[in-house]
A and B are shown apart, each in its own frame.
Chain A
């Protein structure tokens, strides 16, 4: 029991006790010695990482280093891939993800993908409500849910008169914000974003970065990005992955100005390989 509480804390902070001061930062997610495979190939190996609550954590690293795989382990989507396997542990609020129903996990941990993927058969409104519609849950006030989610995704003003249009009729940037609204509508505790801006122009990218900053106080965001400036702009913490291993993790400012590892420095300064 106590160990579960310990694991919910940043290493070095004081355990919660009767007279202990409140911990400076609670960890929403603890990844412990995580190894993920596709068939026999290990995509990530022995990753240990803690993700503080209500912050933005960026995951950076070269293509193929396992960023998406790591992210997909955090909502147990990795195991939906045929032949995929995992070992190690992931704790969400100190509880092992494997002990939870994956359906429940995915409701608490939302995800936004690299390419906008609104459901083509659904209107803008139904896309936002998809998390409810798909699972047969009736929100108390659908109109309120839709408006709140679209406002948080900075899309409300653009689509408030077009809620009945097909979700796929929006522009690429709008579609991506629609997907963010869809993920936020079910009020997840964690939001995973896998290169959410890679298909978008700078203006659309700026809007998404801004909204990420805005939701961060309520939602723990983990964002994979290829864009160093983006990581620097939006995240408090940055983790650098290389060849499936975690090289370094720390405060974004530290990672970008005084990285502890040569590899990290070479990667962020673009002198790589």
Chain B
């Protein structure tokens, strides 16, 4: 009896340690990023740093806006493309495909999630970018309205290319999680709906998706996390230019890509501090978007429980 109580206490101790340790780690990172970026924030001013559009290290002018916007645009594009497609693939694997087909395909999807991002970057550079330049952009420009945001010469590399590449990278994550979420739903829901004369599609749309809503949102959150933080592949295809992208097809930059590219060439303490400032902005963005998504999840759950 006492032995069991002791082991339970020990177990609790481990849990508390793990919990506190995790928080401490996050706190430590935030503290380091915070102190490192303090200089830049003080020199430029926090708001001017956040919404400034000029990035001129030589003149000591640092504005994060182009990179922040690039991050948000490419991530949004990635989610817009990857969520519906990922959910569709998950539905196919879980609800439609026979087991013979579903299990090798699922394994393949999981494998795709494990491919290093530099490989995706190479593929993006050599396959995707030329395809965007020669086919996708001309086709889109023929269809889309002639608005400033859809104009520009076909360069291949740019916001669209990065967004599509991110979508490809996020797709396996979204698919995997969505598939697990759907798999966790009891068959009794499906049978109840089928027995009422629903088609497979109606079962998915009106029973499974609503029941899995919070889990599917979670899939989106994970995908968003990957898209926001992705560095290597994006920097290879976005064009790396410190300009506010004035077109979907224009080159741009993302926060993570700037940090990675310019860290080694930061020639002054202020420059280094400004890069830490970008890191702070990236962390803040991630936190805010995650918190927002979490609220959505809670809201979705609260609807019926």
Contacts A82-B99, A113-B188, A134-B207: A107 and B202 contacting too (C-beta < 8 A)? no
Residues of A with C-beta under 8 A to B194: 77, 80, 106
Residue tally, chain B, CB below 8 Å to A: 25
- 5 new A-B contacts, CB < 8 A, other than A134-B206, A135-B197, are A80-B190, A107-B197, A111-B195, A120-B304, A186-B196
Residues of B with C-beta under 8 A to A111: 195
Tell whether, in the assembled complex, residue B304 and residue A121 are in contact, meaning their CB atoms are under 8 Å apart: yes
Partner of B98, one of A82, A113, A131, A179: A82
Q: How far is the CA of A166 from the CA of B190 in the complex (A)?
A: 18
Q: A110 near B: Cβ within 8 Å?
A: yes
Specify the chain B residue showing the minimal Cβ separation from A118: B192
Residues of A with C-beta under 8 A to B207: 119, 121, 134
A positions within 8 Å CB-CB of B: 75, 77, 80, 82, 103-104, 106-107, 110-111, 113, 115, 117-122, 130-131, 133-136, 166, 168, 179, 182-183, 186
Contacts A120-B211, A168-B304: A106 and B197 contacting too (C-beta < 8 A)? yes
Q: How far is the CA of A220 from the CA of B71 in the complex (A)?
A: 62
Quote the shortest CB–CB distance from B297 to chain A (angstroms).
14
Tell whether, in the assembled complex, residue B197 and residue A119 are in contact, meaning their CB atoms are under 8 Å apart: no
Tell whether, in the assembled complex, residue B193 and residue A130 are in contact, meaning their CB atoms are under 8 Å apart: yes
Partner of B203, one of A115, A134, A182: A134
Q: How far is the CA of A134 from the CA of B98 in the complex (A)?
A: 24
A-B contact pairs, 21 of them (CB 8 A): A82-B99, A103-B197, A103-B198, A106-B194, A106-B195, A106-B196, A110-B195, A110-B196, A113-B188, A117-B186, A117-B192, A119-B193, A121-B210, A122-B304, A134-B202, A134-B203, A134-B206, A135-B196, A135-B197, A183-B195, A186-B196
- Within 72-103 of B, Cβ neighbours of A (below 8 Å) are at 98-99
Q: How far is the CA of A75 from the CA of B193 in the complex (A)?
A: 13
Residues of A with C-beta under 8 A to B202: 134-136
Q: How far is the CA of A200 from the CA of B44 in the complex (A)?
A: 70
* 1/0 contact string of B196-221 vs chain A (CB within 8 Å): 11110011001100110100000000
* 1/0 contact string of B290-304 vs chain A (CB within 8 Å): 000000000000011
Contacts A120-B304, A134-B206: A182 and B196 contacting too (C-beta < 8 A)? yes
Quote the shortest CB–CB distance from B301 to chain A (angstroms).
11
Specify the chain A residue showing the minimal Cβ separation from B210: A121
Residues of B with C-beta under 8 A to A118: 192
Residues of A with C-beta under 8 A to B199: 103, 135
Q: How far is the CA of A111 from the CA of B186 in the complex (A)?
A: 17
Residues of B with C-beta under 8 A to A135: 196-199, 202
Quote the shortest CB–CB distance from A20 to chain B (angstroms).
36
Specify the chain B residue showing the minimal Cβ separation from A134: B198
Specify the chain B residue showing the minimal Cβ separation from A137: B197
- Within 214-255 of B, Cβ neighbours of A (below 8 Å) are at none
Q: When A and B form their complex, which 5 residue pairs have the shortest distance between CB atoms, in order from nearest?
A: A107-B197, A111-B195, A121-B210, A134-B198, A117-B188
Specify the chain B residue showing the minimal Cβ separation from A127: B192
Q: How far is the CA of A82 from the CA of B192 in the complex (A)?
A: 17
Contacts A82-B99, A113-B188, A115-B188: A133 and B197 contacting too (C-beta < 8 A)? no
Tell whether, in the assembled complex, residue A134 and residue B191 are in contact, meaning their CB atoms are under 8 Å apart: no
Chain B CB within 10 Å, residue with most, of A80, A179, A186: A80
Q: B126 near A: Cβ within 8 Å?
A: no
Specify the chain A residue showing the minimal Cβ separation from B213: A121
Q: How far is the CA of A104 from the CA of B194 in the complex (A)?
A: 11
Quote the shortest CB–CB distance from B207 to chain A (angstroms).
6
- Within 159-202 of B, Cβ neighbours of A (below 8 Å) are at 186, 188-199, 202
Tell whether, in the assembled complex, residue A183 and residue B188 are in contact, meaning their CB atoms are under 8 Å apart: no
Q: How far is the CA of A216 from the CA of B251 in the complex (A)?
A: 72
Q: How far is the CA of A47 from the CA of B211 in the complex (A)?
A: 38
Q: B305 near A: Cβ within 8 Å?
A: yes
Specify the chain B residue showing the minimal Cβ separation from A110: B195
Contacts A117-B189, A134-B203: A77 and B98 contacting too (C-beta < 8 A)? no
Specify the chain A residue showing the minimal Cβ separation from B186: A117
Specify the chain B residue showing the minimal Cβ separation from A131: B196
Tell whether, in the assembled complex, residue B193 and residue A134 are in contact, meaning their CB atoms are under 8 Å apart: yes
Q: How far is the CA of A104 from the CA of B196 in the complex (A)?
A: 9
Q: How far is the CA of A111 from the CA of B198 in the complex (A)?
A: 13
Residues of A with C-beta under 8 A to B190: 80
